[in-house]
Structure 1
Amino acid sequence: MMAVDRGLAVLCVAVFLGLTTVAGRFRFPQVSTVTTGAIVAGLVAARIGYVAAHWASYVEAPLSIFAVWQGGFSAMAGIVGVAATLAFQLGRTRALAVGWGALAIAGGLWFTLQALIPPVTYGPFPYHLTLTTPSGAPLPLARFRGRPFVVNLWATWCGPCRRELPMLDAAATRNRDVPILLADQGESPAIVTGFLTREGIGVNNVALDPSRRLSQAFEVAGYPQPPSSLRTARSCSFSSASCRAPPSPMGSIWQGNTDEPTQPSLSQLSGVAHRRRADSASSCAATRSVA
């Protein structure tokens, strides 16, 4: 499955492409001839806009700017990029007005659908659950009560999980101030340990949840899944699948003296928080993070 926000983006691009194609067939052929180039320019502008807005997160690993499969695009920057390309290609003509009109409809659809998507909500963290280590030892989640920590839900069959797991394991090894628990969902110890051995990933930060009880508790539909949240001084509310501001690969931190989560800082997560989106953003199906 595709993350919700990515699906909406594809839908809006398809709407824009469809409108310009119709306009090209009936009266303004020049519009349809520049549409593909405008979309490509818009995607580039969207990526540049996102990276610029979160530059502090990318400065330590600039090559990750090119990891577009992990998500991270600015809708507003993308729309501006498309509009500018259309203006450059079409000039001050009626065809430009048609192209901008199609863009306005697609952009309006994007922002409308984004506004209509309800926020993701989770209940209190399930401290009562007990997972196991790859060696079979019990790992009660109650041991994390009283301090911030991060839980990432993953599976060996999930492509994005496989890509981000070495990074998460490295972050967990470097920074012990905020423990990162990599909780495999629904797989046997043999499968998990075999995968970890092949990939050269240690077992110290990995836990097994063969019954997928964490997934059930958070109503997770896809992986990798960090149930993410944003916390204010007075209330705690959950964001949508993107984990923006700044984007976080590991999601949110559950404060040890409360059952409610808060967004981790870049310093707490060793400067790697920008490498994951909501996605929303490169998940096999859905959205977000914990602690």
Structure 2
Amino acid sequence: MSVRTRTRQRRTGRRSGVGSAVATLVLLAGTAGCQAASSDGTEPTTPASTGGVGVTGNTGLVWWMSRLDRAGTAATLYVSRPLDAPPCQGSLRPEATVTTGSAALTITVSDGSGTGIGCVRDDKLAIVPVNLPEPLGRRTLIDGYDNGRRPVYREADLPAVPGGDDGSSEVPTGFGVPTPADAAPPGAWSQAYTRPGGPDIRISGYPPDHALARAPGTDPVGTAEVAGAQGAIYRYGGDRFQLRWRASGLVYLLDVVPTEGDSISLSTFRGVLTRLDAA
């Protein structure tokens, strides 16, 4: 996928002499999926329906969530057409525009295909990488489609999973495109890591009101620190353990997945956390 980047300065109409930096990235190949995010993860919103005929002339795309790198300058958006969009034609060609401000950055994704209603491949959210013109910091990240805030999963809030010959490899993860019949739009994120000989690791993130974000009804069996946040370790399924913590308004769960036929003791679980600098 090739990318053309265009940057320009735009002045607001309300404040004389106050400008907003606007960076435009045009993805020239590939299909799309879109998701909106918020820097603190609070108050996620569902994209509003644009309704019937009005959608036909609307080439806006929706991003449902974002993953932000540790430097805070590279966002990965998970994008799709609006839920009530008309039947698609051809391939999606996402174009992302970033508008910066003192309190928020707004990313607006549109479909630059010939029809303006391109298709998403394999019913998966398209991955749209966007380089921010400056670090996001603690500002909010907004989807320009409806000015809504979606979950932003920050790598800075996660344990560092070591790679290399003795480390773990990230397993590619895809997310399905929602349908109007879905009970809730996407917003849950997950990432798995595999290691020769095991055990594997799975990290999941949820908006705070998601059903899977609820705290277990049992007492924790221990605690651990993750990226500066205090987490609690819970036993589940008899011989499994899970670390739960909150960061930037989102809830995270870390599971250690044993090789088939094995179990995970609490000491083994803590050993994995130590390897991740989450102990």
- TM-score (normalizing by structure 1): 0.20
Bigger Cα Rg: 1
Q: Which has the higher strand share?
A: 2
- TM-score (normalizing by structure 2): 0.21
